[in-house]
Amino acid sequence: MYQKLLEKPDQIIFNLFQYLSSKKSISLDETAKNLKLTPKSLQRYIRLWQQNGSSFTSGISFVVKKQKITLNGKAKNKRLFLNFLLRRSQCFQLLVQVTADPYCKLKNLSTSQYLSTTTIQRYFKKMKTFLTEYQLFLSFTTNPALKGNELQIRYFSFIISLLHEPPIIWSSQILYERYIKIQRNRINSGFSVTESQLAPINRYYAIPFQINDQALAFLWSQLLGVENLWIDPSLRKILEFALVDHAELEPQSLIKLMQKFHQLHSICAVFEGRLFPFSDISNPSDKTQKIVQSFIHSIPSYQKLLKQHPELPFAYEKLLQNESNKSIIAEK
């Protein structure tokens, strides 16, 4: 989905970065073929990246020598590199401004971004598919510009905020405080959820209360792990069966992992649109594929959940890696 927000040269550079991240050195021809470019075109994009100073400011450079290409640089963290690219994307900066200021006008955006209104409208047209995935759309004919269900707008604003300013330390409390800041901004802007409404209906996690601002704050504290999220006993058995069989972790780690898997599934069941919009959704490990297959066979609503959130296997891999690393550190 990052293709919808990054400029074309940066799209190609990010594709190249992802392709080379796990490789020491690879042939220029093979890399170009994988990225659906000619070797000459790929070299041109690399040369542009090096010449405009991007390799220096990002800490990422590409070396082409004897028809081999190598990724160099200390800052090989995908999330941080993506953040660097997004910060220079005018498309993304427009989204940041629209989510931060619900009443921003086209003229204001034109002035702050030094763009014509025609150019801005072209950018928003480009973002239409990205916004549609979150059941949102943009229109400046009436306020607010960003339109859709309030719960979805807060969820989307939370994701954009994390992409724009990633926390130095990722923890449940820090993520929760970030969400509360967004909710407070929405309330102060006149978008309170004061009258309780029915929670979104889904077959995975039935929210046991009606939704208002106070209830939303409590729900997010559960979804982000500040508070434990109750797991139905039958669902607990399904999660436990899949993880015991395939995760190969200590019992104490499995208990924590079950809660995190349940929180992840619950967020994806309650909200439309990817929680990790720029995750790699291809080639999950055998271990992850087995967990996915176990869920497909045992959770009635799982295939629908996976279709709506194809980033789930990517998230499983990250959770498994984190717990495995913790276990290794504990052993030492």
Q: What is the pLDDT of residues 78-96, one digit of tens each?
A: 888 888 999 999 999 999 9
Summarize the confidence of residues 172-179 as an average pLDDT: 97
Summarize the confidence of residues 103-116 as an average pLDDT: 89
Has residue 330 got a pLDDT over 50?
Answer: no
**Which residue's entry shows tokens 């995750």?**
279
Six token digits for residue 23 = 């490789």
* Cβ burial, residue 315 (10 Å; 0-12/13-18/19+): buried
User: In the chain, what are the domain boundaries?
Assistant: 2-75, 84-188, 233-331
Has residue 199 got a pLDDT over 90?
Answer: no
Six token digits for residue 235 = 């669902």
Q: Please, which pLDDT band fits residue 155 given cuts at 50, 70 and 90? A: very high
Kindly give the interhelix angle for 233-246 and 286-298, rounded to the nearest 10 degrees: 150
> What is the gyration radius of the CA atoms in the chain, in angstroms?
22
DSSP 8-state code for residue 211 = B
Has residue 98 got a pLDDT over 50?
Answer: yes
DSSP 8-state code for residue 1 = -
Six token digits for residue 142 = 């009436």
Q: Is the peptide bond before 144 cis (omega within 30 degrees of 0)?
A: yes
Distance CA(237)–CA(184), nearest Å, equals: 38
- Domain spanning 2-75, CATH architecture: Orthogonal Bundle (1.10)
Question: How are beta strands 137-138 and 68-72 bridged, if at all?
Answer: unpaired
Q: Please, which pLDDT band fits residue 37 given cuts at 50, 70 and 90? A: very high
**Buried residues in 107-131 as b, exposed as e (16+ CB within 10 A):** eebeeeeebeeeebeebbeebeebb
Has residue 325 got a pLDDT over 80?
Answer: no
